Every structure is written in structure tokens, then in C-alpha cells.
Amino acid sequence: MSFFDEADEPSVEPRPATRRRRGSGGRRRPPGDRQTIMVRRLVAAAVVLVAVILIVLGVRSCQISARNSSLKDYTNSVSSLNQQSVQTGSQFFNQLSSSSQAGNATALQNQLNETRVQADNQLSRAKGFDVPNEMRGAQQNFLLSMQMRRDGIAGIASRIQEALGTTTSRDAVNSIAGLMARFYASDVLYKDYTTSLISGALKKADIAVGGDGITIDSHQFLPDIQWLTPAFVSAKLGGQTPTPAAKPAPGTHGHSLDSVSVGGTTLQSGSTNTLPAGQATTVTLNFTNGGQNTERNVVCKVSISGTSVSGQTTVPQTTAGQSTSCQVSLKSGPSAGNYTLSATVEPVPGEKNTANNTLTFPVTFQ
């Protein structure tokens, strides 16, 4: 073969090696790995769910524990305060039953007023209780029962001088017997309503009552229902039997209220008078026996309109044609505002003209 023949033969070029194509997703994980991930996710979710449930249960348990503690604390507070109130009642009835009150009515009235202060403090403490929602109804009844006891003591203290007197003793003893009904009503409110509502709230919260559970005090204030009868009251006050007032002596009877003063300042009916708010006040009534007879156990009264603030005292004797005075203590004063103060010398048996027995004054407490 010639040189040219050799050049005419076609040249054979080597073919490039074919590259293997990779899948677009890269390396594939074995099916077992994907299943493991799913299991791990489910386990993690279950752990989170269990944790949430435990937290909710824990919070709920704390709430229940706090609520139960609040219910128990309130119950114990009511029971303790009722026991103290009953002790105050025992002191009160012992004072009334003392054999030495006759002839010393003023001293007895002062003792009863001191006992009233105790009852007033107990009422204030009851108003300051931390009351769970479940005990709202019980608290309303308890406050009312405590107020009845305080008001009953105050009312009886204000009439004790009359009851230990002579001519007006019958009406005063009847009034005291009527005021005793407040104590009876307070016991009904406490024993039949307050304790019942407390017990119901405790049982609803699965708190045991009685026995090994929590105890609710059930003592009562009124020691004997006979205190509701005038004859029993009279006997306890010294064995006097209330009798109708004696027939007035011949001649005219009665008093005229001349003026009223507070702290040495005479009150004016035609202009506003200023008095300190929220403070105890002593009101002086100046009056004249304008009749022809000596009068005994003359009652002086003072009240403030629109409030429960009032007071009274008894003058043992007034002489015909002469002037005298009495001092009425108001244990507390109303809140700031405008009121009317009324002062009265109560009519005596046989008094016909009572138009001049009362004076009223506009007062501003500030």
C-alpha cells in the first residue's frame, strides 16, 4: 500500500465514556429511616401532650386546694366569732340578772353600753371576712344575725333606766322583752340558715362536716326563751312586777324644752349648726317643769334623721316651776352630710300640752 492509499483510509476516533445519570433526589434513604422519624415525632408529641395534661391537672389541683382552704378558713372564722359573740351574750345576760342593779341604773346602763361596744367590734370583724363565692349567702345571714345582736343590746341599754324606775317601768320592761326577740331571730338566722349554707358549700366541695371533718359552731346567743316575756324580764331585773302607771296627781303636769346645746354652743333652729362627723357627741337638753307637780323618771331623747344614731337618758326627778337639764350621749356620729337633730322631753303621765316637748335643728356634720 502506497503512502496516499494509507492516507485515504478513514480515521477512527475513540468514543467518550458515557456518564451514569444520578437521580434528582440525591441518595435515597432506606424505608426504615423514614419510619423511625415518624415514630420519634409521635413519641415527642405524646410526651408534650402528657406534659400539658400534667400541668393542667396540677393547676387544677392547686386551685381546688386553694378553694378548699378558703372554705375551711371562712368556716373556722365564723365559728370562732360566733363563740365570742355568745360569750358577749353571757356577759350581757349576767349583767341584767345581777341582784344589785336596782338603784344603780346609770351604772348598769354604762356596763351594757360597754358590752354593746364589744358586739359592735365583733360585727365589724365579721364585715372584714375574706368570703369565698360559695359562702356569699351564708355571709349575708351571718352579718344580719350579728347586727341584730348588736342592735338588741343597744336598744335594751337605752331603756334600762326606765325599766328600773317606777312610773314608766311597765312600758320599758315590755320594750326590753320585745327587743329580746332580736336575739331569738339572730339565733334562727345563724343556726337554721348560716350554718346550713356553710355545711352545704363544704359538702359540695367534698369537705367532710362533723365527726372527723370540720366543725361548725352551733351555740346560740339567747340563753332562755323566757327572756321574751315581760314577767321574766322584770323578775331578772330585781323582782319588780310591772304595774299600770298610777293615776296622776291633781293639777297640771308637763315640761317645756327650752334649748339644746352641744359642747357649750346653743343650737339654732333658724340656721344650720355644724357638728363633727363620725364622733361621739353629748347633747344637753335644758327644760322646765311647767306643771304643778313633781315629776319622776323624766326621759330625754335625741335622734338624727335618716340614721340609727340616737340616745336617751332619764332624769330621776324634776320640781314644779324649776328648770333642769339632761345630757344625752350619742355613741357615734353620722358621716358627713346634712341632717336634722331632734331633741325631746318625753311626756309624763297627766301631761296634756306636748307641743313644746320637742325641738328640731338643721345640722351639718363635717
The pLDDT tens digits for 120-139 are 999 999 999 999 999 999 99
**For residue 325, what are the β-bridge partners?**
286
Reading the block at residue 247, the C-alpha cell is 293615776
Is 83's pLDDT higher than 60?
A: yes
Choose from 45-59, 79-93, 241-255 the range with maximum mean pLDDT. Answer: 79-93
CATH number of 255-365: 2.60.40.10
The answer to whether 225 and 187 are in contact (CB under 8 A) is no
Q: What is the pLDDT of residue 242?
A: 46
Query: pLDDT tens across 151-195, in order?
Result: 999 999 999 988 887 555 788 889 999 999 999 999 999 999 999
Region 202-216: what's the mean pLDDT?
90
Q: What is the pLDDT of residue 82?
A: 96
- Contacts of residue 341, defined as CB under 8 A and 6 or more positions apart, other chains included, come to 260, 267, 273, 283, 302, 303, 304, 305, 360, 361, 363
DSSP state for residue 317 in the 8-state scheme: E
pLDDT, mean over the chain = 86
**For residue 323, what are the β-bridge partners?**
288
| N- to C-terminal Cα separation, the chain | 145
Q: What is the pLDDT of residue 278?
A: 86
Q: What is the pLDDT of residue 170?
A: 80
Q: What is the pLDDT of residue 48?
A: 82
pTM: 0.54
Q: What is the pLDDT of residue 2?
A: 47
Domain boundaries, the chain: 58-236, 255-365
Distance between CA atoms of residues 128 and 110, nearest Å = 28
